[in-house]
Amino acid sequence: TQLLEQSPQFLSIQEGENLTVYCNSSSVFSSLQWYRQEPGEGPVLLVTVVTGGEVKKLKRLTFQFGDARKDSSLHITAAQPGDTGLYLCAGTRGSQGNLIFGKGTKLSVKP
């Protein structure tokens, strides 16, 4: 059983479209992080959210942590081909240091 469920698994869109990726759990997380990963490379941190209801913006990317700290979303406005990659959400629980990852959403933005 996956503790963090990401949806959709795959997303193929045209340049300029908007999209939202979801990360859901039945468990509470003390923090949640979003990473983007290119093929053959390690994940690159995009954002960390810690407070229920928190919203963070990074240029065209908007991240939200659910009020109950069980879910999160990533919204991309006017997607560009450079946004193509694997988007991973990962959370920490309590005092545990290790990250629990979802399976990721593979995004492809076509020009």
Q: Does 90 bind another protein (CB under 8 A)?
A: yes
SS3 82: helix
The answer to whether 25 contacts another protein (rule: CB under 8 A) is no
Q: Considering the complex, state which of residue 20 and residue 92 has its C-beta at the smaller distance from another protein.
A: 92
Which stretch, 14-22, 67-75, 77-85, 90-98, contacts another protein (CB under 8 A)?
90-98
Closest CA to 7 of 74, 52, 54: 74
Rounded Cα distance, 61 and 76, in Å: 5
Q: How far is Cα 61 from Cα 46, in angstroms, rounded to an integer?
A: 9
Q: Is 35 in the site for another protein (CB under 8 A)?
A: yes
Buried b (16+ CB within 10 A) or exposed e, 52-80: eebeeeeeebbbbbbeebbbbbbbbeebe
CB of 69 to another protein, least distance (A): 12
Residues in 42-81 that interact with another protein by CB under 8 A: 42-45, 48, 50
Residue 94 in the binding site for another protein (CB under 8 A)? no
> Which parts of this chain interact with another protein (CB under 8 A)?
4, 30-31, 33, 35, 40-45, 48, 50, 88, 90, 92, 96-104
